Structure 1
Amino acid sequence: MAIYEVRPNAQSYGHEIGVLLIACSNPFPPGDVGNAWTYNFPVLYETVYDVTIDSLINEGDRSMGGSVIAAAKKLRDYGVKAITSDCGYMLLFQKEVAAALDIPVMLSSLLQLPFIASTLAPHASIGVICANRQRLVPSLIEEAYPVQSRPLHIAGLEDAPAFRHAILDEKGALDSEAVEREVVERAVKLVDEHPEIGAILLECSNLPPYAAAVQHATGRHVFDFITMINYMQAAGRRTPFTGGY
């Protein structure tokens, strides 16, 4: 029989990944980072109430770093093995949160850019679909992808009516079929204009539900928050191999 000891401050146990949520009122369908059914392992959520869509995406405000660190430490104390977020623009806080914790931190899907680039042929580029193209400025991208060995071709969804209604304007309802059409249209247009694109990255945590449709329409590998989270979870929970020889 094992002996289990109380973990200080923990209210529940067994969570693999901690997710920092920004304060928003978006619906989270299955596949979204904010829906626990997306995962094959337990996750734990913590909202950072002073980080909003407006302050993060529109203003790029870094002043809430202390609140983000406090929320991340709370999740760590609950026993999670790694911490992520539900917005790619949380990359603003990646370095300071990672420096403050002793477990892996992956606050943005954009952190996958160097890995994606390393897998592609020398002539290939990367397509990125994001929530707001105007706010995905070069200085922010450089925090995830400082040595840009592959060009990026970026399309935003800030002018896509269904996406904007549900996500950026937080109107409370999401038409998933309409949003899927908008995301696929952006992806197909990117590939048509830049056929050398070898892979596509979905920046926004609300976009993984449409990754399969994007892949079907473009024939490219599609990366997003969920590919990153699953990769990190697998690395932190290795199991012995069994089978015949």
Structure 2
Amino acid sequence: MIFTANKGQTSYGEAIGILLLDTTIPFIQGDVGNATSYDYPVRYKTIEGLTGERIFNHDYSFIDKMVAGAKELEQEGVKAITGDCGFMAIFNREVKESVNIPVFLSSLLQIPFIRSTLPDSAKIGIITANSKSLTSEVFEKIGILDKKNLVIYGLEEEKNFKAAAIDEIETLDSDAIRQEVLCVAKKIIAEHPETRSFLLECSMLPPYSEAVQLATGFPVYDFITMIDYAYSTIVKKRFEDVM
């Protein structure tokens, strides 16, 4: 078999490219920003200057930098592009139009699929990093115009999550954050008993998905479920012709 080098590509085998915020948060295993969260290699690119504060404020001045970063990842050989913040939804349209590979910048893109699995009366519990910033505008940018069955609760007032993810104190107490996420999930169930699935919006939350699933008994979707699914579509498993 003969292989040909791709111009501008210096390494190979990284099918998923990930655009990162410019933060100083420890990325533990399970976080989108930790490469050991995947069973396959990924490639990262930081969007300089795009801080958590700016993404929460929907700073559209970074569209050009996001597009440039996506184009660089495509040139470097990735087959699909995601991000490490659900609020990157505000850039999804422009970025996907700029490259020739799939783009899925926000975990919120899973909502139509989750809805299709549930009765019309069921609700989806969304646990987000910042409920104040998760406005209708964010959903509209990814084509979600109806929020009627979405129950949105934020972690912006939870002491340990706020310290690590918003204040960026450069340390992270994972046990404490797990308990905060569980408390919010249980609150959603108590106040909205029609809830039948959870979506953890923030890229820092997949490490706590198992705890939420075990505590509630409901399916839990997060950034990693989305990225793993996308990977399975661009790198297909080979099956032998046997029975």
Distance in 2 (alpha carbons) for counterparts of 1:112 and 1:89: 14
Most deviating of 6-15 and 196-205: 6-15
Q: How does 1:51-200 map onto structure 2 within 5 Å? A: 51-57=50-56, 59-148=57-146, 151-200=149-198
Secondary structure at 1:97's aligned position in 2?
A: helix
Counterpart code for 2:238: P
In the alignment, is the contact (CA less than 8 A) between 1:17 and 1:84 conserved in 2? Answer: yes
Consecutive unaligned residues of structure 2, counting only runs of 5 or more, are: none
Distance in 2 (alpha carbons) for counterparts of 1:40 and 1:187: 28
Consecutive unaligned residues of structure 1, counting only runs of 5 or more, are: none
Deviations 1:163-191 (A, max 9, x none): 01111000000000000000010011101
Distance in 1 (alpha carbons) for counterparts of 2:49 and 2:55: 10
Structure 1 partner of 2:14: 15
Structure 1-normalised TM-score? 0.96
CA shift for structure 1 position 144: 2.9
Distance 1:118 1:150, change over 3 A: farther
Distance in 1 (alpha carbons) for counterparts of 2:64 and 2:111: 26
CA shift for structure 1 position 239: 2.7
Secondary structure at 1:173's aligned position in 2?
A: coil
Deviations 1:96-127 (A, max 9, x none): 00011100000000011111111101210110
Distance in 1 (alpha carbons) for counterparts of 2:104 and 2:193: 30
Distance in 2 (alpha carbons) for counterparts of 1:125 and 1:204: 19
Structure 2 partner of 1:210: 208
Structure 2 partner of 1:3: 2
Distance in 2 (alpha carbons) for counterparts of 1:243 and 1:48: 45
Secondary structure at 1:233's aligned position in 2?
A: helix
Distance 1:147 1:64, change over 3 A: closer
In the alignment, is the contact (CA less than 8 A) between 2:118 and 2:196 conserved in 1? Answer: yes
Secondary structure at 1:31's aligned position in 2?
A: coil
Distance 1:212 1:145, change over 3 A: farther
Structure 1 partner of 2:48: 49
In the alignment, is the contact (CA less than 8 A) between 1:114 and 1:145 conserved in 2? Answer: no
Distance in 1 (alpha carbons) for counterparts of 2:193 and 2:3: 56
In the alignment, is the contact (CA less than 8 A) between 1:126 and 1:150 conserved in 2? Answer: no
Secondary structure at 2:61's aligned position in 1?
A: coil
Secondary structure at 2:64's aligned position in 1?
A: helix
Structure 2 partner of 1:241: 239
Structure 2-normalised TM-score? 0.97
Most deviating of 234-243 and 163-172: 234-243
CA shift for structure 1 position 149: 7.3
Secondary structure at 2:169's aligned position in 1?
A: coil
Structure 2 partner of 1:33: 32
Distance in 2 (alpha carbons) for counterparts of 1:148 and 1:55: 26
